[in-house]
């Protein structure tokens, strides 16, 4: 946010640009979620089974698979261990 001579005048174009770049990065959680879901199904696990083994709620696992929440690296590491795949295979 850039301020001009008067502090109440704000250039909102900067905020708009920042939001646009954030939306482009929003594809990562969705693609990660799709990969987790695909691998989970191939392994014959339910969301509830995977969530329990990882130590998170089933609802949170569902949000990760839908791309609504970004999982921490710690959670992604636990998911990869439970699914017996490399972390890089999830991306």
- Residues in contact with 12: Cβ distance below 8 Å, sequence separation at least 6, in sequence order: none
Which CATH superfamily does the domain covering 27-90 fall into?
lambda repressor-like DNA-binding domains (1.10.260.40)
Q: What is the pLDDT of residues 36-81, one digit of tens each?
A: 999 999 999 999 999 999 999 999 999 999 988 888 899 999 999 9
Structure-model confidence comparison of residues 1 and 21, the more confident one: 1
Q: What pLDDT is recorded for position 42?
A: 94
10 beta partners: 3
Across the range 7-11, mean pLDDT stands at 44
Q: What pLDDT is recorded for position 81?
A: 94
Tell me the pTM: 0.68
Kindly list the domain boundaries of the chain, sorted by start residue. Answer: 27-90
Q: Give the gyration radius of the chain's Cα atoms.
A: 18
Q: What pLDDT is recorded for position 30?
A: 87
């Amino acid at each position: 946010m850039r301020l001009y001579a008067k502090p109440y005048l704000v250039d909102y174009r900067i905020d708009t640009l920042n939001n646009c770049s954030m939306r482009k990065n929003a594809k990562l959680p969705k693609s990660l979620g799709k990969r987790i879901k695909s691998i989970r199904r191939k392994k014959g696990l339910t969301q509830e089974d995977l969530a329990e083994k990882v130590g998170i709620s089933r609802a949170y696992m569902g949000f990760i698979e839908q791309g609504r929440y970004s999982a921490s690296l710690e959670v992604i590491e636990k998911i990869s261990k439970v699914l017996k795949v490399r972390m890089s295979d999830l991306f």
